[in-house]
Amino acid sequence: MPLSISRTAEIQTFFQEAAGFGNEHGNPRMKQIVLRVLQDTAKLIEDLEITDDEFWTAVDYLNRLGGRGEAGLLVAGLGIEHFLDLLSDAKDAEVGKTGGTPRTIEGPLYVAGAPLSKGEARLDDGRDPGTPMFLEGRVLDLDGKPIAGAIVDVWHANTKGLYSYFDQSQSAYNLRRRIVTDAQGRYRARSIVPSGYGCPADGPTQECLDRLGRHGQRPAHIHFFISAPGYRHLTTQINLSGDQYLWDDFAYATRDGLVGEVNFVEDASGRHAELEFSFQLQKATSADDEQRSPAPGYRHLTTQINLSGDQYLWDDFAYATRDGLVGEVNFVEDASGRHAELEFSFQLQKATSADDEQRSQRPRALQVQGA
């Protein structure tokens, strides 16, 4: 029987103090959660007789995990994100919220604000010589009636298994679009067939999976948020048929009802893929139901580039020019005439709350319909 002191009154009081229960400040929910983390960590250390070496190895691991930005990957790989889906399913079943397209994990690679278009969109920028993919389907309610004006927010990897934004070699929002369904609830997209991908081979997630004797591969898949006024927000993925990892996904995202049957077609113009997939949404029972859970992403940034060479660059009556916001414009004369080139990259801070991701809600002078 391992030695245990964690349940003594003295240690429990000590953990309560460490979790902030001795003061009137801070956040009560946070205190409750941290207390439980301390209690359960202590119990784990005692029950499994964790050695000092093991403990400090784990601390070092967490530092490296955060340093590589892979915490989201590890929670997918250890099945915790899938567990959250199963728990949500069980809660839904308890209150009779059943039917429709199954949810599955979001993963850590969504970027908000992809270009919005009506009915159809091309997702790829034409620079990746992948197999063209024509994807279409409808957004329906549980009775099979079309939902017009639903937003199909779609994102997927390129042929190297990499996502734009995180892979800075791709153009902005490449393979990311929001498509508004037409009167028949239809959406259509042209893109390229995505590749499956694995955890970075030299990263801490793969290091953990190696120790567990597991691979870190995902089948080719396409991510979606489907939303419409009056309907429950759906986070899901289509996992592509024929992929060797379809039912052996390290992140456990493939589910019955989420396999997309890809048809490869050869014709005079070459080879392309066709994929048809429709979504069915449950009715919302509250306004919150219509929203994605607000896991923090990146802080909204309002800014300007002020153009180099302008006489008012540093003499702006509105004082908007700042260090770091001067865009160096290069004017180029060539055979086709004169043009300007301007390269400017943005760096975002991580959001610490859902509010952080939004522009402050001041009244707008001009609200463009549908914008």
Judged by the rule CB under 5 A, the positions of this chain that interact with Fe ion are 107
Nearer to Fe ion, 107 or 185 (CB): 107
Count other C-beta atoms under 10 Å from residue 279's C-beta: 23
Question: Nearer Cβ to Fe ion, position 254 or 282?
Answer: 254
Q: Which is nearer to Fe ion, 100 or 196 (CB)?
A: 196
Q: How far apart are CA 320 and CA 277, in angstroms?
A: 47
Beta strands in the chain (DSSP E): 116-118, 120-122, 132-141, 151-156, 176-180, 186-192, 197-198, 217-218, 221-227, 234-240, 259-260, 262-267, 270-276, 279-281, 306-307, 326-327, 329-334, 337-342
**Which residue intervals of the chain are DSSP H helices?**
9-18, 28-47, 52-67, 71-77, 80-94, 204-211
Q: Which residue has the tokens 């009506």?
A: 118
* Pairing of β 132-141 and β 270-276: parallel
User: Could you tell me the smallest distance in angstroms from the CB atom of residue 30 to Fe ion?
Assistant: 30
* Residue, CB closest to Fe ion: 107
Q: C-beta of 131: minimal distance to Fe ion in Å?
A: 18
* Shortest Å distance, C-beta 313 to Fe ion: 42
Q: How far is the CB of 223 from Fe ion (least distance, A)?
A: 6
The Cα–Cα gap between 73 and 209 comes to 11
- Of 107 and 204, the one with the shorter C-beta distance to Fe ion is 107
CB of 107 to Fe ion, least distance (A): 5
Q: Which amino acid is residue 367, in one-letter code?
A: Q
Tokens of 309: 């060479």
Beta-carbon-side half-sphere exposure of residue 196 (alpha carbons within 13 Å): 21
Give the residue with the Cβ less far from Fe ion, 157 or 284: 157
Q: Which is nearer to Fe ion, 38 or 76 (CB)?
A: 76
For residue 173, the minimal CB distance to Fe ion (Å) is 16
Residue 265 to residue 225: CA distance in whole angstroms: 28
Ramachandran sector of residue 144 (left: φ over 0; alpha: ψ -120 to 50; beta: rest): left
Minimum distance from CB of 226 to Fe ion (Å)? 16
Please state the closest distance from residue 110 (CB atom) to Fe ion, in A.
Answer: 9
Of the two residues 77 and 185, which places its CB atom closer to Fe ion in the complex? 77
What six digits make up the tokens of 233?
Answer: 């927000």
3-class secondary-structure state, position 23: coil
Is the Cβ of residue 100 or residue 107 nearer to Fe ion in the bound state? 107
Instruction: Say which residue the tokens 């001009």 belong to.
Output: 366
181 or 254: whose CB is closer to Fe ion? Answer: 254
- Number of other residues whose CB lies within 10 A of the CB of residue 301: 10
Contact yes or no for 70/203 (Cβ under 8 A) = yes
CB of 14 to Fe ion, least distance (A): 43
